[in-house]
Structure 1
């Protein structure tokens, strides 16, 4: 009888321990989804500003039509990738695809701002300055949102690395999340935007 009670107590302790780890993983996964939603807000803000910038630049950069069209193509790819990542923020391939499209968009924007530096009339345009300032603000907020998302991903992934995390993760269907990594060009765009908005 005592052996049965001891076994029941041990089983109950193990069950609470396993459920506690599962709850921590669920909470970590919720934090990732919340952090992604904050990043998504900044992506969408960025996506709304870019077509207006391109429209203003068209009047001054007629000979650079290819560069402006490349921005719109990259923007459309990023919007599509972001929509997919919003549906599946914990699916690694969706995050990797979003990061790749965001890199392409950042590179094409960087080219436009590099060209814009050679057009004093465009730089003097008040609407261009206002939109550049707003885009710079969105880029800065996006950097912080991306860092918060990555911090949540690292914490979540680390909780599955040490025993019994991997076993419990497998039992309950938890999978490692992917970091939102971007190239160095991201910081360069922020610097270009800061100059353009002055």
Structure 2
């Protein structure tokens, strides 16, 4: 009789522990999905600004059409990758593709900025200045949202991979996900200064 009660108590504790693990996995997964939703909003804002910037610059950059085309193609690829990642932010491959597409957009915008520097009248245009400022502010917001997202992904992945959580995570298909890396490898290198 006493051993039966102890046995039932042990089973209840184990079941309670498994339920707590499952609920924590669900909570962490929802946190990183919410983090991605915050990035998604900022990326959408970034993507919406790019066509306005390109359209405003067209009159000045008549013979720089390839630069404008490159920016728009990179923007369109980033929009498609964003939509794909938003459909399943738990899919690490989609998050990595989004990071790659955003890196290409960042590179295209850096090239655009370099071209703008060669055109003083374009650089002085108030609309261009306003759009560049909005874009810069949005880039900062994306960076903060990305950091928050990456922190929640890290917490989720650590918890999911810990023993015995990994067993329950495997049984209920809690997949690993990837952090979002938006910097290009060039951005990680120290700038070269020569005199």
Q: TM-score range by the shorter chain?
A: over 0.9
Q: What is the correspondence of 1:96-115 to structure 2 with a 5 Å cutoff?
A: 96-115=96-115
Q: Corresponding residue for 1:125?
A: 125
The alpha carbon displacement at 1:46 in A equals 0.5
Residue ranges of structure 2 left out of the alignment (5+ in a row): 189-195
Per-residue deviation at 1:184? 4.1
**Alpha-carbon displacement from aligned partner over 1:67-112 (angstroms, at most 9, x marks no partner):** 1101111111111110111110000111011111001111001000
Aligned Cα root-mean-square deviation (Å): 1.4
Within 5 Å, which residues of 2 pair with 1:6-155?
Answer: 6-155=6-155
Cα distance in structure 1, aligned partners of 2:26 and 2:136: 35
TM-score when normalising by structure 2 = 0.93
Aligned residues: 188
Q: Does the 8 Å CA contact 1:21/1:165 hold for their aligned counterparts?
A: yes
Write the deviation string for residues 108-157 of structure 1: whole angstroms up to 9, x where unpaired. 01000011011100010000011111111100000000000000000000
For the residues of structure 2 that align with 1:161 and 1:36, how far apart are their CA atoms? Answer: 21
How far is 1:185 from its partner? 6.9
Instruction: Tell me the residue number matched to 1:160.
Output: 160
Gaps of 5+ in 1: 189-198
Compare 147-156 and 179-188 and name the one that shifted more. 179-188
**CA deviation after TM superposition for structure 1 residue 177, in Å:** 1.1
Is structure 2 residue 174 aligned with structure 1 residue 174?
A: yes
Structure 1 position 183, deviation (Å): 2.4
Question: Structure 1 144/157 Cα, relative in aligned 2: closer, same or farther at 3 Å?
Answer: same
Contact 2:103-2:184 within 8 A present in 1 as well: no
Query: Judging changes above 3 Å, is the alpha-carbon distance between structure 1 residues 105 and 185 closer, same or farther for their aligned structure 2 residues?
Result: farther
